[in-house]
């Protein structure tokens, strides 16, 4: 009788042990499945999240100095293209909402040798003023998007700095705040060029403005103000 009870009890224990092992195995499989799901979810999140924000201050006047100073001023000395006589100087100064945060540039331009009337001028993509036509400077530089293939529905003149209103002596000055322009970050205008055109902008023809021939060109470089 006792032997039968021991056998019965032993069978129960073995059955209970097998059940626990099955449950443990299932738990391992569930745990592995949950881990795999976690990896998939994490991978999807990493793929879909926006790219990390780049620091605005990426350019310094003297990056090897003990006390580095961010670039806050730029200048372009503009020379005639071809047989023209237009020349001038354009300066830029960062407008800071708070330290290290640009909210645009203050621009000052002074020109001589211009034909009387309005002349649009823009920042162009490339800092190359070689040649007799100014074409090496490329298309307009887009302050907030692609320059060579801007959106088809864009409703503004890209790279626009305004219009110079030359008097009868060919002189023109202009001061303005260029809200979208920057001296820091991926859309910095440093190393690009300024092109002065033969006519004013046509707002009905964005993003280029149909301002005509290129009269003058100058590369934008660093200065200390």
Report the predicted TM-score, pTM, of the whole model to 2 decimal places: 0.73
pLDDT for the residue 46: 44
Q: How confident is the model at residue 19 (pLDDT cuts 50, 70, 90)?
A: low
Whether residue 92 contacts residue 105, with contact meaning beta carbons closer than 8 Å, is answered with: yes
Collapse the DSSP code of 44 into the 3-class scheme (helix H, G, I; strand E, B; otherwise coil) and give the result.
helix
pLDDT for the residue 13: 53
Q: How many CB atoms lie within 10 A of CB 177?
A: 12
Closest CA to 116 of 211, 1, 7, 199: 199
| Among the ranges given (4-13, 14-23, 142-151), the one the predictor scored with the smallest mean pLDDT | 4-13
What's the chain's average pLDDT? 83
At 99-130, the pLDDT tens digits run 556 689 999 999 999 999 999 999 999 999 99
Whether residue 166 contacts residue 119, with contact meaning beta carbons closer than 8 Å, is answered with: yes
pLDDT for the residue 225: 74
Bridge partners of residue 217, in order along the sequence: 79, 195
Average the pLDDT over 155-167 and give the result.
Answer: 97
């Amino acid at each position: 009788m006792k032997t039968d009870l021991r056998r019965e009890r032993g069978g129960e224990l073995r059955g209970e042990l097998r059940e626990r092992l099955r449950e443990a195995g299932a738990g391992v499989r569930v745990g592995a499945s949950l881990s795999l799901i976690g990896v998939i979810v994490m991978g999807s999140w990493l793929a879909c999240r926006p790219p990390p924000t780049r620091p605005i201050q990426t350019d310094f006047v003297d990056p090897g100095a003990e006390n580095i100073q961010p670039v806050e001023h730029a200048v372009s000395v503009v020379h005639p293209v071809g047989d023209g006589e237009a020349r001038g100087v354009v300066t830029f100064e960062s407008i800071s909402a708070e330290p290290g945060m640009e909210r645009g540039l203050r621009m000052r331009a002074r020109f001589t040798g211009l034909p009387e009337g309005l002349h649009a001028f823009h920042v162009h993509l490339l800092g190359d003023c070689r040649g007799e036509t100014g074409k090496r400077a490329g298309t307009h530089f887009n302050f907030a998007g692609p320059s060579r293939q801007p959106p088809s529905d864009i409703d503004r003149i890209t790279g626009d700095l305004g219009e110079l209103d030359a008097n009868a002596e060919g002189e023109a000055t202009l001061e303005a705040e260029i809200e979208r322009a920057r001296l820091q970050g991926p859309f910095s205008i440093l190393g690009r060029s300024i092109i002065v055109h033969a006519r004013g902008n046509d707002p009905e023809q964005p993003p280029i403005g149909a301002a005509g021939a290129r009269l003058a060109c100058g590369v934008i470089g660093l200065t200390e103000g």
